[in-house]
Amino acid sequence: MELGEPVSGRVPFPWGHSTYAALSYASLNQQDLAQACLLPVLQEIPRLRGDDLRNAVYAIIVDLPNFDTSGAPALGEVLRDLVHAAVWQLTVRIETMPVALMLGLHQAGKGPEAGAWRRIDGPLTRPAHIENYVGKLRALESPTAVGGATANLLDVLDAEPRPGGEGGGDDRDGFARNLRRRISSFIDDELRGRSAAFVDDAHLWARTGELLDDRTVLLTWFLPTAVNGAAVLLAVTREDSEMTVQLGDPADGGPERAEAYADRHPVADLVDAVRTEVERDPLFGDVTPEGRRLLTGHELPLPAADLWAAWRARGKDRLLLWPHGALHYLPVALCTADGRPIADDWTVTTIVGLEALLPADGPARPRRTAVLASANGGVPYGLPAEPALEEHARAVAEAVGANPLTGQAATRAGLLAELATADVVHLAVHGTMDQDAPWLHCLYLTPDEDDDGRVFAHDFLELDLSGVRLVTVAACESALGRFDRADNVRGVPAALITAGVQAVVGCLWAVRPEPATYFYHFLHRRAGQAEDLERAFREAQTATRARYPQYRDWGAFTYLLGRSKGAEA
């Protein structure tokens, strides 16, 4: 217009200008102006197609990972809605869009937090104000107090209402709960502040296929809130990709019910039912009849039977899972594919993000496995003594020729010393989940004169664990955490991966002592000198299944990959 030149047709909207302007306003803590820049984009997304849709998605992929939403929950909701709306519109128009954009949106949706945390400049050092709050919490807690009860981990963490008692008074439990929330949120803020800007120079989302080897299938899910109950599954191989869309039931109940779907997707109820049935005593079967129905039914968002058969015919046998929402805690290995449990034919690995496709960097440590166990670490906090934990540790240590640290030697200081030098570490301890503050998920070692024996998830963030190949944890629900609106997971496994551990093996539910000992003994016997830890995990899973065929015994173990060895990628 300034040049006076005629324009034919509609002028393309500068999507990148809007998202970058919003990012600039947010960096100046002008959250209202940032939202004002994003809302027109959010409103327009459902009507976009062609180059307009492509350009808008590119802008989201580039800019959204660098927003800081700490203290700005309303802005966080707009960013979530923007990503979910873009995912759904891309799903509708996928026949004319590059499929790789879906991977880019999944990555961008998590970028502000978990993706950035793995780019922190060295280990985290807790500032004085966090130490002050931790001290207040320790002084407030009684010696027998246990952190929050195991939560329904399938709900969005930051959608929960805060309890009363923040101002003190007689509500001691409410005050302690809010204090734990505050400490966990301060850890979030510190990680955001220490992380570098997200610049995907490698364009992992655009070249994911070429990073996969000939035997690997990557399954990435997205549970968009833009359509109630929908699940979008993208399967990527080196040669091609396939998308599966599963529509849920419409939200009967108006806007209130639709908003509830944003914080608890209907798939969560299905995952909850699967977990409940698998954990239940199956009496004379491998799993309860209802559990078998759920695992073999069509309700689960999994690829069609013909796809599994086609992949197997092409020699593929490695499955990488990039879950979303409640699907983080679905035991996929137990689900049925092509008429058989997936674990029959596939090595199943969960990845934290596309960076898991890149080889690990940093110096390699000498091969050594450390084993620690504390039977009495949780006793001062109301947990029962478990002599079987130390018996378990001695059996695992025997498999690798190690001397286990047990009893009075299994202290927090002992664990930190082993994490500084060993390349594989196994822990057999009590653990508790904190439903309000996932960075306070806790492992209990033996107290000494200097320490109460508790190791919290956030303690691992203070360590450089980049030389550790594998950490395995034999504790109840040691593979679980909490996810937020952006689908960033917090907890012990997330902290270990963030600190640099290449892979973590834990349990999706409590496992009986005998199968747990058998599994970890077999795993570490294979993993001590093995290059391919995923294969060692698969062999341990298969052997445990042969001896303990009930699904609840062998199906709980899960392998979480933070960064591959070069040969595995």
pLDDT band for position 172 (cuts 50, 70, 90): confident
416: pLDDT strictly greater than 50: yes
23-79 residue pLDDT tens: 999 989 899 999 999 999 999 999 999 999 999 999 998 888 888 777 788 888 899
- pLDDT confidence of residue 13: 66
Pairwise CA distance, residues 569 & 566, whole Å? 5
What is the Cα 439 distance to its own chain's centre? 13
CA distances in angstroms from 30 to 35, 42, 52, 206, 433, listed in the order given: 9, 19, 27, 32, 36
- pLDDT confidence of residue 364: 82
Q: Report percent pLDDT > 70 for the chain.
A: 87
198 or 500: whose pLDDT is higher? Answer: 500
Average pLDDT over residues 461-470: 92
Pairwise CA distance, residues 110 & 65, whole Å? 7
- Asked which of 78-92, 238-252, 273-287 is least confident by mean pLDDT, the reply is 238-252
- Indicate the pTM of the whole model: 0.91
Pairwise CA distance, residues 291 & 274, whole Å? 6
- pLDDT confidence of residue 7: 63
471 or 434: whose pLDDT is higher? Answer: 471
- pLDDT confidence of residue 567: 34
Label the pairing between strands 489-490 and 503-507: unpaired
473: pLDDT strictly greater than 80: yes
Closest CA to 502 of 560, 449, 420: 560
pLDDT band for position 349 (cuts 50, 70, 90): very high
pLDDT band for position 183 (cuts 50, 70, 90): very high
112 or 138: whose pLDDT is higher? Answer: 138
pLDDT band for position 404 (cuts 50, 70, 90): very high
pLDDT band for position 111 (cuts 50, 70, 90): low
pLDDT band for position 146 (cuts 50, 70, 90): very low
227: pLDDT strictly greater than 80: no
Query: By the 8 A CB rule, do 115 and 197 touch?
Result: no
- pLDDT confidence of residue 393: 96
Pairwise CA distance, residues 149 & 153, whole Å? 11
